[in-house]
Amino acid sequence: MAHGYHGASELPHALPLFPLTGALLLPRGALPLNIFEPRYLAMVDHALSGDRLIGMIQPTEHEDTTLKPRLSRVGCAGRITAYRETDDNRYLLTLTGICRFRLTGEMDGGTAWRAGTVDFAPFAGADLMAPADEDFPRERLLKALKAYLSSRDMKADWNSVMSAPGEALVNALAMMCPFDPAEKQALLEAHGFQDRASTLMALLEMGSEAGPATVN
């Protein structure tokens, strides 16, 4: 059970939003964040004074082209589970994923950060209870991961990979692999663990065939 939440009715109807391209938070995944912008420092202070929940969501426009880029319709709420303040006025956080949400609107609360109304109901059934360590094609995943890493001259801790529970392994790879923002969003919006595992394996296999991206 995700930090004591039993159903969508126990989650808030509104969240502070942290738009961040390429950032993926999944239920029961852990996302480290380095917060330094004043508006997001204030947002963290606000979250810490309440339920410690922040909505991670990807913009659909490049942040450099507009002050208020449009946002994806699906994000994931994370709870601040680790927190440290640095000497140079940054916050080092860990967000632990609780449940995905559908963004239903934005609020004008007079704050420097963005906030939105959200609906957890479409995802609560899949997200709030951890799946059993179901059978999934681990060997196919390992084969795809080895080819993907080899094509990019990257390495992995294979002892950890081999021993990790299925959901933890899929979540960690989905969050850590350098997929593009649209691919990250597809992983987020996958129906459940099995669909996310299948999407992840397809992306690894396509990525190993394509090889590393080149810059002209």
Give the pLDDT score at 214: 46
> What CA–CA distance (Å, rounded) separates 109 from 135?
46
CATH assignment of 8-127? 2.30.130.40
Looking at the whole model, is its pTM more than 0.75? Answer: yes
Reported confidence tier of residue 203, pLDDT bands at 50, 70, 90: very high
Burial of residue 78 (CB within 10 Å: 0-12, 13-18, 19+) is: buried
Query: What DSSP string runs through 186-209?
Result: HHHHSSSHHHHHHHHHHHHHHHHH
Condensed to tens digits (0 to 9), the pLDDT of residues 125-182 reads 999 988 876 677 888 999 999 999 999 888 888 888 888 888 999 999 999 999 999 9
Give the pLDDT score at 216: 40
Token pair 């997200």 is found at 127
> What CA–CA distance (Å, rounded) separates 185 from 76?
11
The 3-state DSSP class for residue 11 equals coil
Of 214 and 10, more confident: 10
For the chain, the domains span: 8-127, 138-210
Phi, psi of 75 (to 5 degrees): -135, -170
Give the pLDDT score at 123: 96
Give the pLDDT score at 3: 63
Give the pLDDT score at 124: 94
Give the pLDDT score at 157: 85
Of 212 and 200, more confident: 200
Condensed to tens digits (0 to 9), the pLDDT of residues 177-189 reads 999 999 999 999 9
Among residues 109, 117, 170, 116, the alpha carbon closest in space to that of 142 is found at 170
Condensed to tens digits (0 to 9), the pLDDT of residues 47-100 reads 999 999 999 999 998 766 667 899 999 999 999 999 999 999 999 999 999 999
Helix runs in the chain, H state only: 38-48, 121-127, 138-151, 158-163, 166-176, 181-189, 193-210
